[in-house]
Chains A and B, each alone.
Chain A
Amino acid sequence: MNKIVVGLIFGVVLGALDGATAWFYPETRPVIGGILIGSSFKGMLVGILSGWFARKVHSTGWGIAVGSALGLLFAFLVAFMDAKSGKPHYLEIMLPGFVVGAIVGFLTQRMGSPAVAKSGAQ
């Protein structure tokens, strides 16, 4: 399984789990379905990009850093769109998104098969 697929799978799963924690806030329960879908999609994007990065750069530190940055970026976009519809929840969305991105970045570095070097022979 290559690193992009690993990132995709873990991104979707962890994103869904992160979205599911919104259930602990009763006011979000009516829209929990949308939150789950959005969070999973956000996780998928972070996972795919982290996986792609992991194929290029083999460094756990950089993997975590890039995953965190991607998680923070996409979480910001989600929080920004959410803020337009009412009360902003930047901290509740971005902070967990940042950590989930770090986890996905770490997992893509540690798991999955690296890119196969292309032969230079013609």
Chain B
Amino acid sequence: MEVSDSVLEHLCQVTALPDLTGTRYELEAEIGRGGMGVVYAARDRELDRRVALKVLEVPLSGEAQLISRLEHPGIVPIFESGTLADGRSFYAMKLVGGARLDQYAAGEHTLSESLRVIRRVGEALAFAHSRGVIHRDLKPQNIMIGEFGEVYVMDWGVEAVAGTAGFRAPEATLDKLSDIYSLGALLKFLLSSPAAPALAAVGQKAMNSDPRARYTSLTALLADIDRFEQGQAVEAWSEPVWHRVKRFAVRNAVLLWLLVAYTFVKFLLFFWRKS
């Protein structure tokens, strides 16, 4: 008996579906696919809520335990982990509605909104670093922007992943400074062209091929972004004098205009009196 390609394909798809027997979940649909496994939308029958189920092709090597230690608004919480009837490992986590960062970036956004996203990602990363966890594979596809603008960093600490070209640091061994490189790459990804020189310098410093020349911590990188937003000088850029004067004038425009007004009034009165 011959089986058509479409039937064969369907059979393959069906057999690849996770066997959720014995769990409290009902499968709904596949929502994503990565190097380590497949993510499905599912329904938690006991709590009557939708969750995301990540079914791993490799044994659970501590990824779920890793993430469960990271309780932070920017990190997707893990609800449960275990082994399916078919032997595959899984973990259930919050189902995040919204869009991936690469999809979000395709739309129109102000610089302020883009920097807000970077700041949220940086805060989640900084928290993880404080708990000894490194992401290793930060890229737009691993950032979710929720329906209400909340930012989530996903796919944490998977050692087997070699990173993604364009966002992976050049060094062989990945560490916290590699995550800083990746955040700099995300910043560059989100910035429109041409970017403000100060902001471009922040990205370049974060993405320096020499890890020792990068920011020493995410806090330092985020502080520079804050300084940029407040109209202050950033540490990453030795701005020329004319730019410093221009920045001063912009930050103190009202005061300068008042001083000009005072000088004008004084001159006016002086010459009026003389005449």
Alpha-carbon distance A103/B259, docked complex (angstroms):
8
| Shortest CB distance B180–A (Å) | 34
Could you tell me which residues of chain B, from 252 to 275, have a CB within 8 Å of some CB in chain A? 254-255, 258-259, 261-262, 265-266, 269-270, 273
Tell me if A106 is interfacial: C-beta within 8 Å of chain B. yes
- The stretch that binds B, out of A76-84, A94-102, A113-121, is A94-102
Alpha-carbon distance A25/B272, docked complex (angstroms):
12
Contact at B262–A96, with CB atoms within 8 Å? yes
Tell me if A2 is interfacial: C-beta within 8 Å of chain B. no
- Among A25, A64, A110, point to the contact of B273 (Cβ < 8 A): A25
The number of inter-chain residue pairs (CB within 8 angstroms) is 32
Contact (A100, B262) CB under 8 Å given A60-B254, A106-B254, A107-B255? yes
Contact (A103, B265) CB under 8 Å given A24-B270, A25-B273, A92-B273? no
Contact at B265–A102, with CB atoms within 8 Å? no
Contact at A103–B258, with CB atoms within 8 Å? yes
| Shortest CB distance A57–B (Å) | 17
- Among A25, A103, A107, point to the contact of B262 (Cβ < 8 A): A103
- Among B254, B265, B270, B273, point to the contact of A99 (Cβ < 8 A): B265
Interface size class of B (residues with CB under 8 A): 10 to 19
List of A residues within 8 angstroms of B269 by Cβ: 91-92, 95-96
Alpha-carbon distance A95/B142, docked complex (angstroms):
61
Contact at A95–B258, with CB atoms within 8 Å? no
Tell me if A59 is interfacial: C-beta within 8 Å of chain B. no
Contact at B255–A103, with CB atoms within 8 Å? yes
Alpha-carbon distance A65/B265, docked complex (angstroms):
18
- Among A25, A60, A91, A99, point to the contact of B261 (Cβ < 8 A): A99
Contact at B255–A96, with CB atoms within 8 Å? no
Alpha-carbon distance A64/B255, docked complex (angstroms):
10
Contact at B255–A21, with CB atoms within 8 Å? no
Alpha-carbon distance A6/B259, docked complex (angstroms):
18
Contact at B266–A106, with CB atoms within 8 Å? no
| Residues 166-200 of chain B, each 1 if its beta carbon lies under 8 Å from chain A, else 0 | 00000000000000000000000000000000000
- Closest B residue to A93 by CB, please name it: B269
Contact at A96–B259, with CB atoms within 8 Å? no
Alpha-carbon distance A96/B269, docked complex (angstroms):
9
List of A residues within 8 angstroms of B270 by Cβ: 24-25
List of A residues within 8 angstroms of B273 by Cβ: 25, 92
- Closest B residue to A110 by CB, please name it: B255
List of A residues within 8 angstroms of B262 by Cβ: 96, 99-100, 103
Contact at A102–B266, with CB atoms within 8 Å? no
| Residues 187-220 of chain B, each 1 if its beta carbon lies under 8 Å from chain A, else 0 | 0000000000000000000000000000000000
Contact at A95–B265, with CB atoms within 8 Å? yes
- Closest B residue to A91 by CB, please name it: B269
Alpha-carbon distance A96/B262, docked complex (angstroms):
6
13 example contacts (A-B, Cβ-Cβ < 8 A) are as follows A25-B270, A60-B254, A64-B254, A96-B265, A96-B266, A96-B269, A99-B261, A99-B265, A102-B261, A103-B255, A106-B255, A107-B255, A110-B255
When A and B form their complex, which 7 residue pairs have the shortest distance between CB atoms, in order from nearest?
Answer: A99-B262, A103-B258, A95-B265, A92-B269, A99-B261, A102-B258, A96-B265
